Chain A
Amino acid sequence: MTELEINNLVKRFGEVEAVKGVNLKVKAGSLVALLGPSGCGKTTTLRMIAGLEQPSKGDILFNGSSVLAIPPEKRNIGMVFQRYVLFPHMSVEKNVSFGLRMQGMDKAEINRRVAEVMKIVQLEGFEKRFPSQLSGGQQQRVAIARTVVTNPQLMLMDEPLSNLDAKLREEMRSFITDLQKRLGITTLFVTHDQIEAIELADQIGVMFKGELVQFGTPEDIFNRPINPKVADFMGATNLISGHLKSKTRLETEVGSLDLAQQPSQVEGSKVIATIRPEHIDLNTETKGPNQFKALIKEAVYYGGIVSYKVQSGLLSLNVKDRSTRRFKVGEEVMLELAKEHLWVFPEN
């Protein structure tokens, strides 16, 4: 099993610095997701690890040894690309066995390994088919089979599920998690989908504009985002400006709000509080802290969840309600912001 380490990795394309000093450690046998919006540098980072791009600065180590001088074909890695990148002129069997044939492996051993992997990815009987005869999910499994058949020391996945429909994506997530745990291959997975990252990864690295801004478990990233940008990216789309009256009290345009966490900012400082839409309760019957009135501006049904846009004065908030209640546009409701889910950051 291989440990991956990235030290101060930088990549410049002319004047543009696509990756700005990324430091990352991926424990042997674990699955780490690099999460961020398009253009944040996550794919560039992955390509540098694969050896498809040369870093401008920094180092990449496998088990403590630098691989910068090692060409991609000698790094013993596997890579699953965004669009599968199956060889269109080769059958499934030939696609999967490609790496083994490049290694000059014995034919009998190749056949054995291919059969084993085809069973793992549940594509037995598909050996003679060509990529054009496969569905998206099947093509993705062939791409994964081709990656794992060579027993790579590291598996890199570049948004492999982004071209699949929602249902298939969900199935493939379970498939990938099970496979990775079963084979124990150290895996780095790039995605812009926060749900995917949370479901798949042991740890998540969030990237913005070439920088790794937060690294931690899915729970850390989801519940304790390090700044409003991360919070917003992870779905905490509600931002409330205010200033700290005390360590546990926030003054905002909608009144005083109690805080459960202890912000590091001093009293009186300007801050931004974030809260996820699902942590706002609607129309509470009991009186309590962090309650204020608001008007329903928009209501969209998502099948089991109703997403509301509410307005209280100048403050606009998003609310996700799983209950069976239905509120109409224009209706007045009482909101309650769960204090344990209010996170406070400095305004800048």
Chain B
Amino acid sequence: MAISTRAEPKIGRSKSLLHRLFNQESITAYIFIFPSLVGFFAFIVLPMIRGIQISFTKWNLMRPPKFIGLENYKDAFTDPVFWNALKVTLEYVVLNIPLQTLIALFMAVMMDRVTKSEIVRGIFILPYLLSNVIVAMIWLWLLDPNLGFLNLLLQQFGIHKQAFFFSTTQGIPTIAAVNIWRHMGINALLFYAGIQGIPKTLYEAATIDGAGEWGMFRRITLPLLRPVTVFVLVTNVVGSFQVFDTISVTTGGGPIDATRVIVFYIVQNAFELTKFGYAAAMSVILFSILIVITLLQMRVLRGNSSDLSS
């Protein structure tokens, strides 16, 4: 009997796709996710589309928006303050992410190997329960150059007062340190939860094969935490690029643009200079950068697979 090698008709294929999208089971699913979909469209998709629209206009709220094509984008690419803001943001991300991730990982391993106390876990998560603004204000006081507790302590050890937030060189590292303090606990809990998902028998097998603590961490814990690591890195990188509250409460972008991160610059352009079109264009550029970084991370770290699921 001859075997047909004719390709499937396209009509048959799209009918199958249509059927899959609109069969009874799918419709039931849509009904369940409808409330979330409404929120998603109302607060994410529509504003995003509107933002992209505005980015092609010149608009200061006083007059109707005027279409100017790609002018805002050209201005951004030739704006030294924009590039400086990106550079400052990148500096912040490079300081924040590796340290925060490593500290969180260390805390998680300690929670698993040294103490499984719920009180300890509760204490770790406390900073995260405070709002960014409160945290920033607390640290603004603690690190005050004249009256701050930390400077008083440093002086006891013969160390000169430090400017911390108000130094061009210490500003971003200080902000990074504050955000590490706030986020390390929650990330530690995520890693801890991931470690609980690793079968203990794998560690027993590794122990019998001669692995010490470091060997087990490097060859068992770290590789099998990959899905959690991807989640933590992706969400934290995106969040770090969008840092704003801490800057707004503490340094206001200074001194001399040393802490003027990209989102702060966007907000300044939108709400202080009423250059909504320009602010929207910078937002679109930032969004594009974040998409590329996220996709790269997912690809390099194989974010869509887990060794434990097999």
Q: Which of A's residues lie within 8 Å of B, judged by CB? A: 50-52, 71-75, 77-79, 81, 83, 85, 87-89, 98-99, 102-103, 130-132, 146, 150
Contacts and interface: CB of A to CB of B under 8 A. Distances in A.
Contacts of A130: 310
A85 B201 contact: yes
A102 B209 contact: yes
Contacts of A83: 201
Given A72-B204, A87-B219, 10 more contacts: A50-B208, A73-B208, A89-B307, A98-B206, A98-B209, A102-B206, A102-B209, A102-B212, A132-B310, A146-B209
B296 interface: no
B220 to A, nearest CB: 7
Contacts of B209: 73, 98-99, 102, 146, 150
A128 to B, nearest CB: 15
B95 interface: no
B215 interface: yes
Nearest to B211: A102
Contacts of A74: 210
Q: Which label, helix, strand, loop or mixed, suits the secondary structure of the B interface?
A: helix
18 contacts: A50-B208, A51-B208, A73-B207, A73-B208, A73-B211, A75-B208, A78-B208, A85-B199, A87-B205, A88-B224, A98-B209, A99-B209, A102-B206, A102-B210, A102-B211, A102-B212, A132-B310, A146-B209
A126 to B, nearest CB: 16
B310 A81 contact: no
A208 to B, nearest CB: 26
A130 B215 CA distance: 20
Nearest to A82: B201
Interface of B: 199, 201-202, 204-212, 215, 219-220, 223-224, 226, 307-308, 310
Contacts of A50: 204, 208
Contacts of A79: 204-205, 208
B307 A88 contact: yes
A52 B205 CA distance: 10
Contacts of B199: 85
A258 to B, nearest CB: 53
B228 to A, nearest CB: 14
Nearest to B226: A89
Contacts of B210: 73-74, 99, 102-103, 150
Residue among A71, A79, A83 with the most chain B CB within 10 A? A79
A98 B206 CA distance: 8
A103 B206 CA distance: 12
Residue among B199, B210, B211 with the most chain A CB within 10 A? B210
Given A72-B208, A98-B209, A81 B201 contact: yes
